[in-house]
């Protein structure tokens, strides 16, 4: 099963994921420019060789990229080396599909540290499986396996669009896709298949991801939460955006917010109020604009009731908080519009209030 994309939205721009993909592709293209003999030499110099890491053999000085005592640095350089177009293409595809959500669950710098630690664990797992091996190990598969392990625990029920046997394209739960992937790695490792693939590195990296994710994720991000709830979300604005007309209504664009988004924003508001020494309730909702040039400041969790958004004094036809207040019980109040702060969404009138 070849993953194409998932239906799991993010709240952060995945700069680290994009950066890792860019660095891997750049290193691969630079390696290709060296020619056949240059590629072999680069793999020996910068690949992780188990026998060298454990001191069983020493590379000749002309083939050693690092001085004696610093051979362990090849564990990191090997993560960015690849052996061919299929090798790097498959790895970067998996990183593109799954990396952004894991980065979203822990932040940019934590994700970078998590990625590198999983790569180290994968290299050590491969080296320990055969400490006398003199074959260089290269590739981002071990670090990527850690990302897959983290996604497995974070979003098991997220839907992943897969290409099955090059014929069928359909959505499958992430737990099935990733369970199938790690199952194949374990089967190949236990069967002793020797086809040039570091199966032990894949298994070790996946296990590292499972063990490290509880320590790297944000506190408000639960484990085994399943996929995001499919909620229609309307009124997508950012602080500083302005209403262009008093008669305009909210745009009607769908966006599936992660289920922890509201709790995350509430936690940030509580911390901000605590620093300021304010006793104001952190869950107080955003107030309506006073005129056509008042900025909208909506955040995840703010709920608007009623159909007439152009009239801020319009009575609510739903029980619970006032028309411009937040909802604390979405099931009881059944909000019609949920404002989620997402950049770059254009305005589009709903057509309900055109006066």
- Annotate 28-68 with DSSP letters as a single string: HHHHHTTHHHHHHHHHHHHSB-HHHHTTS----GGG-SS-T
Give backbone dihedrals phi and psi of 148, rounded to 5 degrees, phi first: -65, -40
Q: Which of 142, 139, 136 has its CA nearest to residue 43?
A: 136
| pLDDT interval class at 227 (50, 70, 90) | low
pLDDT score recorded for residue 67: 83
- 333: pLDDT strictly greater than 80: no
Question: Which pair of structure tokens corresponds to residue 275?
Answer: 């620093």
Question: Which pair of structure tokens corresponds to residue 106?
Answer: 């822990």
Residue with tokens 């994968």: 122
| CA dist., res. 72 & res. 294, Å (int) | 58
Please tell me whether residue 85 adopts helix, strand or coil conformation.
helix
| pLDDT interval class at 257 (50, 70, 90) | low
Written in H, E and C, the secondary structure of 114-144 is HHHHHHHHHHHHHHHHCCCCCCCECCCHHHH
- 336: pLDDT strictly greater than 50: no
Task: Give the distance, in angstroms, between the CA of residue 84 and the centroid of all CA atoms in the same chain.
Answer: 25
What average pLDDT does the segment 85-109 reach? 95
| pLDDT interval class at 259 (50, 70, 90) | low
Handedness of CA 229, 230, 233, 237 (dihedral sign): positive
| pLDDT interval class at 176 (50, 70, 90) | very high
Class of the CATH-defined domain 2-216: mainly alpha
- 288: pLDDT strictly greater than 70: no
pLDDT tens, 100-149?
999 999 999 999 999 999 999 999 999 999 888 889 999 999 999 999 99
Asked whether 140 and 98 are in contact (CB, 8 A), the reply is no
pLDDT score recorded for residue 16: 97
- 311: pLDDT strictly greater than 70: no
| CA dist., res. 233 & res. 78, Å (int) | 44
Residue with tokens 């937040």: 326
- 88: pLDDT strictly greater than 70: yes
pLDDT score recorded for residue 103: 96
- Residues with Cβ within 8 Å of 253's Cβ and at least 6 positions away in sequence, in order, are 233, 234, 236, 345, 348
Handedness of CA 256, 262, 267, 273 (dihedral sign): positive
| CA dist., res. 294 & res. 244, Å (int) | 10
Asked whether 95 and 111 are in contact (CB, 8 A), the reply is no
Tell me the average pLDDT of the chain: 75
How long, in residues, is the chain?
A: 355
Domain ranges of the chain: 2-216, 229-355
Q: With b meaning 16 or more CB within 10 Å and e meaning fewer, what string describes 19-56?
A: ebbeebeebbeebeeeeeeebeebbbbbbbbbbbbeee
Question: In the chain, pLDDT over 70 holds for what percent of residues?
Answer: 67
Question: In the chain, pLDDT over 90 holds for what percent of residues?
Answer: 42
- Residues with Cβ within 8 Å of 28's Cβ and at least 6 positions away in sequence, in order, are 81, 82, 88
| CA dist., res. 355 & res. 347, Å (int) | 17
150-154, 243-247, 310-314 — which one is most confidently predicted on average? 150-154
- Residues facing 338 on adjacent strands: 303
- 195: pLDDT strictly greater than 70: yes
Distances (CA, A) of 277 to 266, 267, 272, 282: 16, 15, 9, 12
pLDDT score recorded for residue 261: 64
């Amino acid at each position: 099963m070849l993953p194409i994309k998932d239906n799991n939205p993010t709240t952060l721009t995945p700069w680290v994921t994009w950066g890792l993909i860019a660095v891997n592709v750049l290193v691969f293209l630079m390696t290709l420019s060296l020619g056949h003999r240059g590629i072999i030499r680069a793999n020996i110099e910068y690949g992780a060789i188990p026998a060298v890491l454990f001191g069983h053999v020493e590379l000749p000085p002309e083939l050693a990229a690092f001085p004696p005592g610093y051979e362990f640095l090849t564990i990191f350089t090997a993560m960015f080396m690849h052996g061919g177009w299929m090798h790097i293409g498959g790895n970067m595809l998996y990183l593109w599909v799954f990396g952004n959500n894991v980065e979203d669950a822990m932040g940019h710098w934590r994700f970078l540290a998590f990625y590198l630690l999983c790569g180290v664990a994968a290299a050590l797992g491969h080296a320990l499986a055969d400490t006398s091996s003199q074959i260089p190990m290269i590739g981002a598969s071990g670090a990527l396996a850690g990302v897959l392990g983290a996604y497995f625990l974070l979003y098991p029920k997220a839907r992943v669009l897969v290409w099955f046997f090059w014929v069928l394209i359909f959505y499958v739960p992430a737990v099935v896709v990733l369970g199938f992937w790690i199952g194949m790695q374990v089967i190949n490792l236990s069967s002793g298949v020797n086809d040039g693939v570091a199966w032990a590195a894949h298994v070790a990296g996946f296990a590292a991801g499972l063990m490290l994710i509880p320590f790297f994720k944000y506190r408000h991000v639960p484990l085994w939460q399943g996929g995001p709830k499919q909620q229609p979300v309307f009124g997508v604005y950012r602080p500083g955006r302005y209403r262009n007309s008093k008669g305009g209504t909210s745009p009607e664009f769908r966006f599936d917010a992660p289920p922890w988004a509201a709790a995350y924003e509430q936690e940030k508001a509580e911390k901000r109020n605590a620093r300021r020494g304010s006793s104001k309730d952190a869950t107080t909702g955003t107030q309506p604009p006073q005129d056509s040039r008042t900025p909208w400041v909506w955040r995840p969790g703010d709920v608007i009731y009623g159909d007439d958004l152009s009239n801020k004094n319009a009575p609510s036809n739903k029980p619970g908080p006032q028309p411009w207040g937040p909802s604390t019980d979405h099931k009881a109040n059944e909000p019609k519009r949920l404002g989620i702060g997402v950049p770059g969404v254009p305005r589009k009138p709903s057509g309900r209030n055109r006066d």
